[in-house]
Structure 1
Amino acid sequence: MYLAHTDRWYLERILWLIAGSVVLTGTILGIVVHPYWFALPILVGINLLIFAFSGFCPMAVLLHKMGVKSITETRGVRN
């Protein structure tokens, strides 16, 4: 079983927090307010696919510019 490190808030962990929050918010708003809100979780899903195939994530770029360090920067790269 894989368990992520939870001793600090690194970039990848914050990305998952933001993605999950946006998906849940968009889904709830789509159910309660208007179906157009379902576009929000769809866009997050598309971005996750783009990240999986290309390694590019606009939110990761923004967080990195804000000074959030990735797990490899906080712990060092392990071989």
Structure 2
Amino acid sequence: MTLDRVVLIFAGCVVLLGITLSLTVHPWWIGLSAFAGLNMIQAGFTGFCPAAMVFKKLGVRPGTAFK
């Protein structure tokens, strides 16, 4: 699995986790989903993604989006 796919899967999980926590624990957890969404937009424009850096250090095989 490439770095690109791992980052997308991780971002999707964070969004779903934020939505689930906002529905079951407290509405302010929706901020987690908002943060993940804003980070995805920022990464799309700049190519900088902190999660990609972490996964790269963990040894995930590079893809084409995050170098």
- Determine if the TM-score, normalized by the shorter chain, exceeds 0.5: yes
Q: Does 1:18 align with 2:10?
A: yes
State the identity %: 41
Structure 2, unaligned stretches of length 5 or more?
Answer: none
* Partner Cα separation in structure 2 for residue 38 and residue 71 of structure 1: 30
- TM-align CA RMSD: 1.0
* Partner Cα separation in structure 1 for residue 12 and residue 47 of structure 2: 19
User: How many equivalent pairs are there?
Assistant: 64
Which consecutive segments of 4 or more residues in structure 1 shift more than 3 A?
Answer: none
Larger helix percent? 2
Q: Does 1:51 align with 2:43?
A: yes
* Partner Cα separation in structure 1 for residue 49 and residue 27 of structure 2: 26
TM-score relative to the length of structure 1: 0.76
* Partner Cα separation in structure 1 for residue 49 and residue 40 of structure 2: 8
Q: CA offset at residue 65 of structure 1?
A: 1.0
Structure 2 residue aligned with 1:77: none
Of structures 1 and 2, the one scoring higher in RCO (CA 8 A, sep 6+) is: 2
SS state at 1:71 partner: coil
TM-score relative to the length of structure 2: 0.89
* Partner Cα separation in structure 1 for residue 39 and residue 14 of structure 2: 12
- Higher Rg of the two aligned structures: 1
* Partner Cα separation in structure 2 for residue 56 and residue 30 of structure 1: 28
* Partner Cα separation in structure 2 for residue 14 and residue 27 of structure 1: 20
